[in-house]
Structure formats: structure tokens, C-alpha cells
Amino acid sequence: MNSFSDRYKEAGVDVTAGYKAVELMKNHVARTKIPGVVSGIGGFGGLFQPDLGGMEEPVLVSGTDGVGTKLKLAFLMDKHDTVGIDCVAMCANDVVCCGAKPLFFLDYVAVGKNVPEKVAEIVSGIAEGCVQSGCALIGGETAEMPGFYPVDEYDLAGFCVGMVDRKKIIDGSKLAEGDVLVGLASSGVHSNGFSLVRKVFDINEKTVNRYVDELGMTLGECLLTPTKLYVKPILALMEQCEIKAVSHITGGGFFENIPRMLKDGLTAKINTAAIPKLPIFDLLQKEGDIPTREMYNTFNMGVGMCVAVAKEQAQAAVETLKAAGADAFIMGEVVSGGEGVVLC
């Protein structure tokens, strides 16, 4: 491409670096190609032709999010190939809560300085997240913004579009007292609560490299563990059981997210002893002197997603989710009352 501008480069924007970044990311994007992809990257819009076969009333479902201040750890550790997984997971996990199958994803990377190799590394993680959720990466934007971001920092966001037949939408309307809550284990802190995480651990170049016996790795390695994607297990469960409600446990923890799937007059009674314990949360609570109630109101506490099914289908749901690659367990039940969430 015969496109360049020396004066623009003097101002901090190197357009040729952008072209190189696109070339370097093409192989990563190619990994995500699925039936329905019409266009490659580089056009003005990403084209996708959905398969409407078997659907009576197709409904599009969208979700958008970013990675938040977890990116600060990626900067300190100079490791950029996993935060893209977080970005996709924050969007695709939301979309599947409605019962929708994610179709495609677009990203937005804003950098202080466009280093093509770093951008390609970021996109490699986005592509991996798309592969794990079965959707295509059909486009995106890399914006070089000198003076707005430091030269070695960036922001990352994206959005996902999925589709579901209207009659299969999961909306909590069939939820009833006696239904069982099934938890899907998280991989760690995921991508929420990192402003508090960074404050508690005084995150800097030294502390991210601190080896922690309880974690079996450095603090930075543990915290940078990417968000678990639950798309394929949830879609597999939909084929075997009637899912009455789903909640993606993100920022706000149990107390903010689980009530979003409940009908008025119902409460989620959580058996905290049934949830597998992750050492990172014990460490956070201890070093931050954080009350238990606030831990469950900030972090996922080992549960990345909560699914409600009828009592007679609970064990089958656990087995189906495990067969699909999720660590699943019964974590509570739905009871009458208007408390939202009760920890037991």
C-alpha cells in the first residue's frame, strides 16, 4: 500500500505501523472463520450472513464490554496475549445468558503508540477467545492516540452479536421456588474488581513478580489468568435441559448479578460451602481486610456463571456441563421471598 505521511508520523501517528499490524494479525483472525463470514478484515464493515434455518423468529442479542484496569497488570508484566480472551469473554458470556449463540465479534484497541507486534499479540488473545466461544472475529479498529494514552499503554474493548430463536430465549420467566442453582467454576478473579485488587496488593513491577506459595505461582500470573468462557457448555446444556435463568457473575459479584435473573418475590439461597475455594480470594480477603459480605458483592468468589434448572434436572445439568468442559456443582436453590441473595 502506497500510503504514508511523514508529518503525521512526526505528530505521533505512524499509519504504516497500522498496516503492518493488520498483516501480522491476519493469521490469528483466520483461526476464527466460521460459516457465515462473508468478508475479511480491512474493509469498512464486517459482513456476516447468519444461518436462519430452523428458526421461527430469529432475535439478535448483543453485548459490549472491556477489560478494565486488569490491563495495568498486562502492562507491568509485558504480557498481552491473554487480555483479548478476557475481552471476548466479558461480551460472549453475557450474550449466552439469553440463550443466544455468539456469531461474531469486533474489537477496539486504542494505543499510545502502535507497535505492530504488540497489537498482533493482543489480537491473538481476541482470536483465541473467539475460537473458545465459537464466533468469528470479523473486524475491529486500532486507533493510535499519542498524548491521550502513554506510549506503552492501551485500552481494549469490543462487542459481540449472537442470535436465538425467540421461543428459546432464557429470561427467567419460568423460574420457580424449588429450582436448583448450578454454579460453573471461575478461573480466578476474571476481569472485575481490579481497582480493589490493585489497591489491596499494591500492584507494581515488584509485587506482580512476588511468588505466593498458596497460589503456586507469582501474584501477577494468577491475576492475569484469563476469564473462563462458558458459551459452549451453556449451549450444550440447552440441548439437554430446560435452563430457566442464567447469571454471568461479573462486577458487583453475587449481590448485583444473581438478582438480575430472578423474578420478583424469589430469592437465591446460596450454600457457600458448596463452592470450590480459590486461594486468590482468601488472600485478597486476608490482605485487604475485606468483610465477607463485600467479597461476595465485588468478586465472583469462584463462580463465573450461575444457572437455574428444575430440581429433577439438576444432576443431569451438572453432568452435561462437566462433559462440555465446565467444572459444575450445585450451589443453592430458589426460595420464596424478596431478599435477592442470601448466603448460607
Q: Are 275 and 301 in contact (CB under 8 A)?
A: yes
Element (H, E) at 305: strand 303-309
CA angle 12–18–24, rounded 5-degree value: 140
Of the candidates 287, 305, 121, 294, the residue with the CA atom closest to the CA atom of residue 219: 287
Q: What is the mean pLDDT of residues 71-87?
A: 97
N-to-C CA span, the chain:
63
In the chain, ranges of CATH 3.30.1330.10 domains: 6-168
* CATH of span 180-343: 3.90.650.10
Name beta bridge partners: 270: 332, 343
Of the candidates 70, 75, 85, 88, the residue with the CA atom closest to the CA atom of residue 115: 75
Q: Is the pLDDT of residue 8 over 80?
A: no
In the chain, ranges of CATH 3.90.650.10 domains: 180-343
Q: pLDDT > 90: what percent of the chain?
A: 87
What does each C-alpha distance from 187 to 23, 81, 171, 219 come to in angstroms?
32, 17, 26, 14
Other beta carbons within 10 angstroms of residue 322's beta carbon come to: 14
Q: What is the mean pLDDT of residues 210-229?
A: 96
Altogether, the residues listed in the chain come to a count of 344
Task: Round to whole Å and give the CA distance between 142 and 120.
Answer: 11
Handedness of CA 52, 58, 60, 61 (dihedral sign): negative
Least-confidence region, from 7-16, 152-161, 247-256, 317-326? 7-16
Q: DSSP per residue over 277-297, as a string?
A: P-HHHHHHHHHHT--HHHHHT
Look up residue 26 and give its three cell numbers: 491476519
Block residue for cell numbers 473486524: 139
Mean pLDDT score across all residues of the chain? 93
Fold of 6-168: 60s Ribosomal Protein L30; Chain: A; (3.30.1330)
Task: Fill in the amino acid letter for 86.
Answer: D
Least-confidence region, from 16-25, 105-114, 197-206, 251-260? 16-25
How confident is the model over 82-133, as pLDDT tens digits?
Answer: 999 999 999 999 999 999 999 999 999 999 999 999 999 999 999 999 999 9
Task: Fill in the amino acid letter for 245.
Answer: A
Of the candidates 112, 109, 106, the residue with the CA atom closest to the CA atom of residue 44: 106
State phi, psi for 182 to the nearest 5 degrees.
Answer: -110, 130
Q: Are 137 and 126 in contact (CB under 8 A)?
A: yes
| Beta strand spans in 169-279 (E) | 180-185, 211-212, 217-218, 245-248, 266-270
- pTM for this prediction: 0.94
Handedness of CA 271, 97, 301, 342 (dihedral sign): negative
Look up residue 170 and give its three cell numbers: 432464557
Residue 2 DSSP code: -
Block residue for cell numbers 491473538: 124
How confident is the model over 37-46, as pLDDT tens digits?
Answer: 997 777 788 9
Task: Fill in the amino acid letter for 319.
Answer: E
